[in-house]
Structure 1
């Protein structure tokens, strides 16, 4: 697939051995990922400023951006660091000082004491993440909702992961500059790195979310990590102050007792401390930007999985100890094996049964009962090599094609009305059970839809591959008409 991506600046490429990493270690990492059924979508490994390995699990491709979830936070932190260096903000600034119109009538001491630095370090003093309250705000004023939440602890005294705090950083920057996060970062960070096609989700009032919602390609994630590894210098020019890089990536607050968890090593300014003197930005379901200063390495990963610690364990077990300080001998056999493994990276569509004599029974149009997806009707027909699906929801009609035991890639607005690339297929679990699979290739998400006929009704069971909280199956019924 070819996308019109102009002016993207590519990182230089090299062989693993030339940069002190044996190809066999990368093969071992890929093997560990496969053995543990960890669904990676992309991998880019940098050593000494060179891309030494890159791969995408088909149907995911290099040109497509991927939703970063909380890895977005590290970019928001960078914007604050740049604003501090320009004298626009100070980390000691009181959060309330920016929002006189949203300040509660009664201001208690802990809220009054909250500063920008406390937002950055996830030490706001709240007992829980404020995002639930923000998204439930009836008037869409998330700033007001944040400032109305009780602040149970003294700011700076307790770590509570709080995406609402990162949203407030975006709102503060928006307030003092009159610009969105993206507009502020574009000339200062993104342009120098050659990143021109980023997007960022917004709140109901148009302020970019800050704590989530940024979409970038894997290589652009890697560039960001490399910039931090190089202490804020890119192509000989300083982009980020060195002091900010050091402060943002250092432990600012304790978030656990250390041990074997990479979520208990301390937290900086929207960066996590890791074991092995590394640090990272990360996002839900396996979005990683891992920076390893001791090894002069960066690892960018996108994925759709729940066990994020397992990915880090594979990095520490197979990649980190194999990194040598000097070039290694080139071993043709290992290089060929790695090249073959990278060429074979793919997520296969389910291929349980090619066809069913009941296809004519399933084919038709169904009026759906009220459901949380807000789907109204569902229609399906079968052709020789594919099934054609049409879903009407509260936004529009959505037509897409499912390959018969194969992916068909296409554009769709099925995901909340956003036009995105999807890959879809179908198979038969048995003659009476149809399985549809839809992968949203710019996100971690994949939905499996199992369909059965009961009389004149079509019964749906829709299950996501990953989800916040339980992976509940959504049950839905449709009546043929």
Structure 2
């Protein structure tokens, strides 16, 4: 009995050592799936489902604050930064929340207040009533999303685009609005969003070398462009799961976390709704609501940080043009039903299979329409 117990303990130690790729400062703790109430067989089923989706790059599953499974499809790697696309918006929103907490702005501030030199000569009533809150909820009032000229976003172009709807009443996914939020943070702090977040978010979470380019106007792109590692994405989700608290310190108020991840506007009639059912669940402050009482940061091509509060779980995924609803379905179908309230007996055979499967993962390019 003692020998068997020691052997099991030795296997678990080896399992953790071979799956734990320590990167950057303050890595998340690691554990086995069984120790956190899910079987490794369920994890293997999840990885198998992901591997059937073209262009998957990575995944990380965190439960009760511990990484219980992680993997990268070669040539992707744990220490390789990945473009987040619109998951950047959730980091941008976090910067807005921190600036609000510091009293530098209010959600009810009118957008024109920050850009008197960029406003049209005769702004419409709708534009004059547009607030920071409206930008956060993608309900600024545009009927058509303003597009950057020559690839460079412009606050002036955003403000001079027709505001057809009363702000707060019409959801339209609007990257230029997110960029304008980034510009507002810079206006009130004197720093780009990337600079502003470094001591307040990146350093406390142990996120190193965050790469977030700026526009010719000098503002972080806000809507996209941020490069981070898979574990960095998971840490943002874990921070929100922990209601803004990290290592005993409240980085963002619990009230902001609740507000930012709650449904503020219907989004089931906007073009993104064609992606799948999880684009019908409402929108918060640059966070999407999901089925199963979950919420997420979400980026084109398959970038995700999905938070399941009821299960105390965070799932991060990156990809290069994957079927995004299929990525979420893999969570709902393979992981969600398998989470248990108590620890399970360790399964050395399933854990060994997991290591073998993950070691062989290789990126399969997304199929292109002929």
- Look up the match of 1:123: 139
Deviation at 1:334, TM superposition (A): 1.5
Structure 1 residues 108-153: Cα deviation after superposition (integer angstroms, max 9, x where no partner): 11001100000000000101221x2x3348xx67011001000000
Distance 1:271 1:66 in 2: 19
CA RMSD of aligned residues (A): 1.9
Matching residue within 36, 40, 47 for 1:23: 40
Counterpart secondary structure, 1:135: coil
Distance 2:190 2:346 in 1: 54
Which structure's residues are more often strand, by fraction? 1
- Look up the match of 1:87: 103
Deviation at 1:6, TM superposition (A): 8.2
Matching residue within 244, 248, 253 for 2:265: 253
Q: Are 1:198 and 2:210 matched, yes or no?
A: yes
- Look up the match of 1:135: 149
Matching residue within 11, 29, 48 for 1:12: 29
Counterpart secondary structure, 2:278: coil
- Look up the match of 1:207: 219
Deviation at 1:24, TM superposition (A): 0.8
- Whether contact under 8 Å (2:65, 2:238) holds in the other structure is yes
Structure 1 gap segments, 5+ residues each: 349-445, 447-464, 474-481
User: Residues 418-457 of structure 1 correspond to what in structure 2 (within 5 A)?
Assistant: none
- Look up the match of 1:409: none
Q: Are 1:179 and 2:169 matched, yes or no?
A: no
Distance 1:224 1:196 in 2: 13
Distance 1:119 1:240 in 2: 20
Q: Are 1:283 and 2:299 matched, yes or no?
A: yes
Which structure's residues are more often helix, by fraction? 2
Rg larger in 1 or in 2?
1
Aligned pairs, number:
345
Matching residue within 14, 39, 43 for 2:55: 39
- Look up the match of 1:238: 250
Distance 1:73 1:343 in 2: 32
- Look up the match of 2:240: 228
Distance 2:363 2:195 in 1: 36
Matching residue within 100, 103, 113 for 1:97: 113
Matching residue within 81, 86, 98 for 1:65: 81
Structure 1 residues 412-440: Cα deviation after superposition (integer angstroms, max 9, x where no partner): xxxxxxxxxxxxxxxxxxxxxxxxxxxxx
Matching residue within 308, 319, 327 for 1:303: 319
Distance 2:284 2:177 in 1: 14
Distance 1:157 1:292 in 2: 28
Counterpart secondary structure, 1:298: strand
- Whether contact under 8 Å (1:128, 1:161) holds in the other structure is no
Matching residue within 176, 180, 196 for 1:168: 180
Alpha-carbon spacing, 1:67–1:7, altered in 2? closer, same or farther (3 Å):
closer
Structure 1 residues 234-256: Cα deviation after superposition (integer angstroms, max 9, x where no partner): 01111111000000000011101
Distance 1:255 1:124 in 2: 13
Deviation at 1:282, TM superposition (A): 0.9
Runs of 4+ with deviation above 6 angstroms:
257-260
Deviation at 1:39, TM superposition (A): 2.1
Distance 1:166 1:186 in 2: 19
Distance 1:207 1:281 in 2: 21
